Every structure is written in structure tokens, then in C-alpha cells.
A = this chain, B = another copy of it.
Amino acid sequence: MENLSPNMSTPAKVLVVLSSVRDGRHGAKVGQAVMKHLESNPSISAEILDPMTLDAPLLKQPLHFMPDQSAAPSWMTDTLAKIKESAGFVIVSAEYNCTIPPALTNLLDHFPLSAYRHKPASIVTYSMGPFGGVRATVALRPFLSELGMVILPSTVSIPTIQNSGITEEGSTEENERVDKNMKKLCGELAWYVQALETQKTSSDGVPN
């Protein structure tokens, strides 16, 4: 694979997808923390995909169902381009009433499954309570899998995020458990990105 082996020139792109657009959300700093950990790996080039910035409306029509896709708003076509270019994802999710924040499903529902398919994804959740969003992880599995993502074994769950010691800039140094788990998760993602990108270029192509 050009991107990850010693002889490769460009790092693989990974999108860090946020889930919450609530005032006072904690997701932005969790996203920054993931960025920091991903970017410590020279084979990865990471970027945030933030539903708050994109300000997508509630889904009227997915891009691929539009009769005239050239008339789609630019946030849609730009976002689809980013998703297509990505070799992997980290989903950074809050938990709202035991399930997935609507801004996350709403954003990803806009795009064709082919843009996600056969790309590895890692799940990071957080909550203000004691359970760290683990029920959001359960809820995310069938959703992300239906999109075609390949969900990796390591997850990170951050309880009482407001007291976690994670800084606005994304430093996890004060929280040994989160620091260690994020490092493990990001290393695992890089390993799978390399495995799948290598196989996509070296074997008889990509499965359907």
C-alpha cells in the first residue's frame, strides 16, 4: 500500500466523526483527543467531521436518491468527497437516552453505503454518568455495520466526562486509563487500515 509501507508517500486519511451538536457538548474535546492520538502516527492523516459545523438539516433526501445530484448543496458533495477519500473512521459518540445522538445518524444517513463499505471503524463513547456511553456502543453496531463499516474490537468508554481530566485541546495525560485505551484504539485502527488498504491494492480487488 502506498500510504503506509516505508516506500509509501502519503498517509492514509481517517475521519473522526462527532455526534453531538448540543450547547456545551463534551464531544469536541474527545474528538481533539482522538486527533492527537491518531496524529502521533505518521502513517495517518486525521480530520474532524463535525455535524455542528456542517449544520445539516434533518434528512429530506439522501444524496444518492436525488434525481439531480449536481443540484445537491456543497456541504453534501464536500462531505461525500471526504468520506470517500477516507480509509477509516473513528466515531466519537455521546449517548442520548440510551441511544445514538440524532445528529450522527442524520449526518451519515445522507450518503451512499458504498462510501463507507469495507472501511475499518473504531468507537469512542463518553457520558456524564457512570456508564461511559456503552449503550450507545451497542446501538451503534447495527447502524455502522449496515453502512458497511468494519467495527474493530477495541473501544474506549469515558464515564463522567466532565471530570475526566481531558482538556479542551484534547490532552489525555491526566487520565491514565483513557490515555492508554486511546493509544491502543488508534494503533489498532492504523493496523487495520494498513491491512485492508494493502489487500485492496494487492489482491484481486475489493469485495462488493
Contacts and interface: CB of A to CB of B under 8 A. Distances in A.
Given A58-B106, A97-B146, A203 B194 contact: yes
Interface stretch (A30-38, A84-92, A151-159): A151-159
B153 A118 contact: yes
A21 B58 contact: yes
Copies of this chain: 4
Nearest to A109: B96
Interface stretch (A71-79, A128-136, A164-172): A128-136
Interface string A96-125: 111111110110110000000110000000
Contacts of A100: 99-100, 105
B98 A109 contact: no
13 contacts: A21-B58, A59-B101, A59-B102, A98-B142, A99-B100, A99-B143, A100-B105, A101-B105, A102-B103, A117-B153, A131-B131, A184-B207, A184-B208
Interface of A: 21-23, 51, 56, 58-61, 96-103, 105-106, 108-109, 117-118, 130-132, 134-135, 137-139, 141-143, 145-154, 157, 159, 184, 187-188, 191-192, 194-196, 198-199, 203, 207-208
